[in-house]
Amino acid sequence: MKVNALDHVNIQTLDLKATINFYTDVLDLEARDPPPPLDPKLVQWMYDAEGRAIFHLTTPGSLSGDNAVQELPRETGPVHHVALSCTDHDAMAERLVSLGLEHRLNHVTAIDLKQIFVRDPNGVLLELNYFPGNH
């Protein structure tokens, strides 16, 4: 048995619309309805250019069918950040400035890795990694 790759990250949100807008406007991901029986008014999957649903955006209770839940779960809080392999560092840095989003730039010179750190509307820290050849 082996792990082949990370499949997706599920982000629970109280503001589905703002979260969808962030991932479409900032990362150029495409929002699509999830498969049944999930309710597309409560759940959206965010697809990359290769057609992979890398983020599942869900509202509290939407996965359990308990739509009365109105607060975010506390049991999954230890995740510090989600790292994404990206291309075109300068274009992303410019986009974040133009959108007025607070972010931090970092350069790991030992391996020539450029990074941008930005938070989504839910406070999820994203680490955008630009490896050599993808700056």
* pLDDT (tens digit per residue) in 53-97: 999 999 987 877 776 667 776 665 657 789 999 999 999 999 999
**Torsion, CA 120, CA 81, CA 90, CA 15, rounded to 10:** -10
pLDDT of residue 60: 84
* Domain ranges across the chain: 1-69, 80-135
Supply the pTM of this predicted model: 0.85
Alpha-carbon dihedral 34, 5, 24, 64, rounded to 10 degrees: 30
Give the tokens for residue 98.
């133009």
Instruction: Let me know if the fold of 1-69 is the same as that of 80-135.
Output: yes
State the CATH architecture for 1-69: Roll (3.10)
Return mean pLDDT, the chain. Answer: 90
Arch. (CATH architecture) of 80-135 = Roll (3.10)
